[in-house]
Amino acid sequence: MVDTIRVLVAKPGLDGHDRGAKVVARALRDAGMEVIYTGLRQTPEQIVAAAVQEDVQVLCMSILSGAHNHLFPKVTELLKQKDASDILVLGGGVIPEDDIPFLKENGIKEVFTPGTSTEDIITFIKENV
């Protein structure tokens, strides 16, 4: 029996666009994962605390405001400090191609941009968790 994959879906920063985050959360839930959604306006500290407390294997973050280069690395840095770097961290939203290498260097395993199928995200999680 395989353990259920636990996922935290989070919205860091002040951005209020959460259609994508919610659609992904539902799709992961429909795929049999246990999903917790943080709601809007989470600080990196809050996200990391929730991820550790909920003992998740996957953290999905979505930003459409352009603050990803600032906020995503802050989260991965804090995860490191909490000895939680084993959590698979994924990013999504309006993120220019050029920014993706920088984010990957900073611990974001994969970045999913507009037009991504939720199936691709599910497959990626199953293969990498």
Partner 1 sequence: MSNLDDRLNAFGEKVAKETTKNPERKENFVTGSGEHVERLYTPKDVEHIDYIDDIGFPGEYPFTRGVQSTMYRGRLWTMRQYAGFATAEESNERYKFLIEQGSMGLSVAFDLPTQIGYDSDHALSEGEVGKVGVAIDSLRDMEILFNGIPLDKVSTSMTINAPAAVLLAMYIAVAEKQGVTPDKLRGTIQNDILKEYIARGTYIFPPEPSMRLITNIFEYCAKEVPQWNTISISGYHIREAGSSAAQEVAFTLADGIAYVQAALDAGLDVDDFAPRLSFFFNSHNDLLEEVAKFRAARKLWAKIMKERFGAKSPKSLMLKFHTQTAGCTLTAQQPDNNIIRVAIQTLAAVLGGTQSLHTNSRDEALALPTEDSVRIALRTQQIVAHESGVAETVDPLAGSYYIESMTDKIVKQAEDYIEKIDKIGGAPKAIERGYIQQEIMDSAYRYQKDIESKSRIVVGVNQFKVNEEPPKGLLRVDPAVEVRQKEKISSLKSDRDNSAVNDSLNKLRKAANDPKSNLMPLILDAVKCYATLGEICQVLRDEFGEYVATATL
Q: Which stretches of the chain bind partner 1, using CB under 8 A?
A: 13-19, 22-23, 25-27, 29, 35, 37-41, 43, 65-67, 69-71, 94, 96-98, 113-115, 117-119
What is the nearest approach in angstroms of partner 1 to the Cβ of residue 27?
7
- When the beta carbons of 1 and 43 are compared against partner 1, the nearer one is 43
What is the nearest approach in angstroms of partner 1 to the Cβ of residue 60?
13
Q: What is the DSSP string of 61-87?
A: EEE-SS-HHHHHHHHHHHHHHTT-TTS
Two structure tokens written together for 62: 């979505």
- When the beta carbons of 28 and 87 are compared against partner 1, the nearer one is 28
- When the beta carbons of 35 and 108 are compared against partner 1, the nearer one is 35
- When the beta carbons of 86 and 105 are compared against partner 1, the nearer one is 105
Q: Are 71 and 92 in contact (CB under 8 A)?
A: no
What is the nearest approach in angstroms of partner 1 to the Cβ of residue 21?
10
Q: Are 109 and 90 in contact (CB under 8 A)?
A: yes
Q: Are 125 and 5 in contact (CB under 8 A)?
A: yes
DSSP state of 10: E
